[in-house]
Homo-oligomer: A and B are copies of this chain.
Amino acid sequence: MGSSTLIDALTGALPPGAVLTDPDLRRSHQRDEAGLCPAGLPAAVVRPTTTEQVATTITLAGQYGVPVVPQGARTGLAGGANAGDGALVLSLTNMDQILEIDPLNRLAVVQPGVVNAALAQALAPHRLRFPPDPGSWESSTIGGNVATNAGGMCCVKYGVTSEYVLGLEVVLAGGEVLRTGRRTPKGVAGYDLTRLFVGSEGTLGVITEITLGLKPAPAESLTLVAVFDTTAAAGAAVAALTAAGTTPSLLELVDQTHLAAIEAYQPMGLRTDAAALLLVAVDTGASAAADLAIVEQLCQQAGAAEVYAATDATEAQALLAARRLAYHSIEHAAAKAFPGGNGGVIVDDIAVPRTALAEVLDGIARIAAARQTMVGVIAHAGDGNLHPNIVVDRADPDSVARGQAVFDEIMELALSVGGTSTGEHGVGLLKRQWLAQELGPVGGRVHQAIKHALDPDNLLNPGKVVPPPG
C-alpha cells in the first residue's frame, strides 16, 4: 500500500499522459491562491477527460488508501485545493467540454473544467448568461464555482452559484456515479443533494458534469459612482437603497485605503480623501434611467459628497475599471511597501448584515491601526460581503503574525455582529477553525455525520471544511 504502487496502477488503467509525476508539475499543483494555508507535495497529478476515468482514479486511490484532492484552476482563496504530502491531485481542467446549450429550456450542460469566460462566450450568441462572476472569472472553472458556491459582483441582484445549478453528476468516494437534480426549472423530488454538493469543496464527491439553469442576458447597464466623506454616510446609502426596494445589479464599495492604492497604481482622478466610494449599476431595461435617478437621489439624501452618473456604456465600463483594479492595486501597494518581492496580501472574506456595514468598516480600520497593518476593504456592499485585504511582509515573522491577528480579529468582529466567516470564498483550510466556532458543536457533529455517510474512509479532500471532532 502506497502511492508508488498506486501510480503504477493508475498509469496502467488510464490513457497515456493522464498520470503525471514530473516534480515541477507536482510543485505547481500544490496550492491555490489562499494565504496562511499549508500545502504539501502531491505524489502525482491525474488529469482525466471522462467520468469513467475519474471513477477509476477514485476507486484505485481508495484501494491504496491515498487521499484525493480535486483541483480546478486553483484560483480558490481558502486553501480548499491545497494538496497534502503524498496525496493524489485530481485536476479536472481537461474536462472542459460544453456538452449542450439548450436556449429554449435555458440550460447548459458542462464539464467541470470549462472556464467561466469560455462559457460566457458560448452563451452570448444565445443572449443567455450564467450570472456568477467571481473576480477570477477569466481563468476559473465552472467546477470551481460549484465546489465553492462562488459569488461575485452580480450576486446582489442575481444570487450565487447554487441558484443556477439544476443538477450534477458526481463520482462518490466508492467510485459510484451519482446523478442529482433535474433538467426542469422546478423539481422537489427527494433531498436536495445538488445543493449539498454545491459548496462542499470536493469533500463529499468529485463533480464531473453540471447542468446549469441560465438567465436571459440583461439589457445594457447604467452606472453611477457616489463618493462619501464618512463610512456612516456610505452605509446609510446602502441601507436606503435596500429600504427603497431598488434592485441594483451591482452595489460595490471601495474604502479609502483601496482608493489610495488604485490612484497610486493607475491615476484616474479618484477622490483619495473620501472615506468610501459606492459603485451602483442598474440593468432594468426600459426603466433603467428612472431607476438610476432614484439611486442618485437616495445617495445624495444619505450624504454623498459627490455623485457622478455614467452617460453611456463606455463611461460605465470606465467606472467599473477602478473597482476591477482594486486587487492588483493593493498587491502593488504591498510590493512597494515591502520591496524584494516580500509584500503579500491575505485576502479575507466575511459577510455581515447590510445594516452593520459602516460599523464593520470602522471596526476593521481600528483593528488595522492597532496592529499597524495596512488593510484595504472592497465590499459587495449590497450583500454585506466584505473583502478585507491584509498587507504583510512575508519576510518578517512579526508582520505575518500581526496580519494573522488582524485576520482573527476581523473574523471575531464579523461573528459578533451576526455575520458569517465566509461570504463566498469558502472554508477550505483557511476558515476551518472559524467554521467550527460558527457552527457550534451540534453543527460540527452534523457535518461529520454527513461526511462520514458519504466518505467513510475520509478519502476525498481530507482535512478541509469539516470541523475536526471534539
Contacts and interface: CB of A to CB of B under 8 A. Distances in A.
Given A195-B192, A443-B179, A385 B287 contact: no
Given A178-B443, A418-B183, A423 B162 contact: no
A199 interface: yes
A353 B103 contact: no
A243 to B, nearest CB: 6
Contact of A442 (B148, B163, B177, B242): B177
Q: How many monomers of this chain does the complex have?
A: 2
Interface in A169-218: 172, 176-180, 182-193, 195-196, 198-200, 204, 216-217
A320 interface: no
A210 to B, nearest CB: 16
A274 B430 CA distance: 62
A258 interface: no
A123 interface: no
Contact of A189 (B291, B383, B422): B422
Interface size class, chain A: 35 or more
Contacts of A200: 191
Interface in A413-470: 418-427, 431, 434-435, 438-440, 442-443, 445-447, 449-450, 452-454, 465-466
Contacts of A276: none
A199 B193 contact: no
B242 A186 contact: no
A199 B38 CA distance: 38
A435 B104 contact: no
B245 A127 contact: yes
B186 A419 contact: no
Contacts of A172: 442, 446
Closest 5 CB pairs of A and B: A216-B245, A286-B287, A453-B453, A187-B420, A184-B351
